[in-house]
């Protein structure tokens, strides 16, 4: 068989060496007879390839030297691979300083200080009680980040494009801005960079959709610990009775996981108001299907304390400085 000869590792003696680049300990079995036996048995003869013989010898000699020289350092290495503390990027996200992705960028740029010390190494850790602060440059960047409120029409998807559908972010154009003076900002192409939806609103639904450059806003709305209320007006087909209404409020499960209690109240014979504290995929439609109802219209009108208000369909505006979710 042609090609490179794979070393035969048969010697029971184990040598351990430290790979300084990966910071880990590797274990090797070194075959002292490999240079002659394995090459000759495969049809290669080292005497016809002096450079091969030299390279092979140097390879094993170097490995032996490394293992012997580094053995004295093994006792000084930590016995486990887990570093003390928590990743700084995770701590920053948990404290609402920024998102984890933004934290990595800030750390790389030297904009993060832990207990007064600058941190520039990704993956660095700190104690949960450590004081973390941002450089003034990072604070300036955050102040320039924008959050946009869009009244999403039918046929647009909130996130990644789907076949036959258009991303809702394509509606963020100067001609679609509602009352430019409202929110105190004028449209800029820089506001499209990194703009992403904070939450989903499916293609067959309309209403309030939040798009933001600010990781703090995104985490507040869709983070694991988020409990921001989201209000919907839902038009249904089918008969609603007290038992079905009770199940919609509490008692249903999706994908094997129970749903959090919801506020559900009838507005009229064919319309309900839903107030949820979570956002499962197509949650309201699937909840209604479980009790024999069919959703024929769904509109989100509020997220936290921010309401859709009079924002026209297909129009958008900036979140003003005196608004918060």
Alpha helices of the chain — where are they, by DSSP H?
34-41, 50-71, 88-94, 100-108, 136-144, 215-222, 242-249, 283-290
Of residues 115, 202, 214, 322, which has the active-site annotation? 202
Integer Cα distance of 292 and 141 in angstroms: 50
Q: 269 is written with which tokens? A: 């014979």
Longest Cα–Cα distance of the chain, Å, equals: 94
CA 271 to chain centre: 36
Separation between Cα atoms, residue 252 and residue 246, nearest integer Å? 10
As a whole number of angstroms, the distance between CA 144 and CA 223 comes to 22
Which string of DSSP letters, residue by residue, matches 295-318? Answer: EEEEEEEEETTEE-TTPPTT-EEE
50, 35 contact by CB (below 8 A): no
- Those residues whose C-beta lies under 8 Å from the C-beta of residue 200, and which sit 6 or more positions away, are 158, 159, 279, 281
* Active-site residue, 255 included: no
> DSSP secondary-structure letter at 5?
P
CA distance 53 to 46: 5
Q: How far apart are CA 217 and CA 59, in angstroms?
A: 55
Active site members: 202
């Amino acid at each position: 068989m042609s090609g490179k000869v794979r070393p035969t590792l048969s010697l029971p003696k184990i040598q351990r060496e430290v790979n300084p680049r990966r910071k880990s300990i590797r274990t090797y079995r070194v075959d002292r007879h490999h240079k002659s036996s394995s090459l000759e048995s495969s049809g290669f003869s080292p005497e016809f390839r002096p450079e091969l013989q030299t390279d092979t010898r140097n390879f094993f000699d170097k490995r032996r030297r490394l293992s012997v020289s580094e053995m004295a350092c093994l006792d000084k290495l930590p016995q486990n691979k887990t570093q003390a503390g928590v990743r700084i990027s995770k701590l920053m996200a948990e404290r609402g300083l920024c998102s984890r992705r933004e934290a990595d960028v800030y750390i790389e740029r030297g904009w993060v200080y832990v207990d007064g010390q600058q941190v520039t190494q990704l993956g660095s850790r700190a104690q949960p009680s450590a004081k973390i602060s941002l450089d003034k440059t990072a604070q300036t960047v955050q102040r320039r980040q924008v959050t946009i409120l869009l009244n999403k029409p039918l046929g647009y998807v909130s996130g990644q494009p789907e076949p036959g559908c258009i991303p809702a972010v394509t509606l963020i154009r100067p001609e679609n801005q509602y009352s430019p003076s409202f929110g105190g900002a004028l449209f800029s192409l820089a506001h499209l960079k990194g703009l992403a939806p904070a939450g989903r609103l499916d293609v067959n639904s309309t209403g309030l959709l939040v798009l933001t450059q600010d990781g703090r806003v995104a985490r507040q709305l869709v983070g694991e610990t988020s409990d921001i209320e989201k209000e919907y007006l839902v038009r249904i087909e089918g008969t609603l009775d007290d038992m079905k209404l009770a199940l919609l409020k509490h008692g249903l499960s999706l994908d094997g996981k129970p749903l959090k209690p919801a506020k559900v109240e009838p507005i009229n014979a064919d319309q309900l108001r839903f107030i949820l504290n979570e956002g499962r995929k197509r949650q309201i439609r699937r909840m209604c299907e479980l009790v024999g109802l069919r959703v024929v219209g769904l509109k989100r009108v509020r997220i936290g304390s921010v309401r859709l208000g009079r924002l026209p369909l297909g129009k958008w505006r900036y979140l003003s400085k005196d608004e918060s979710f």
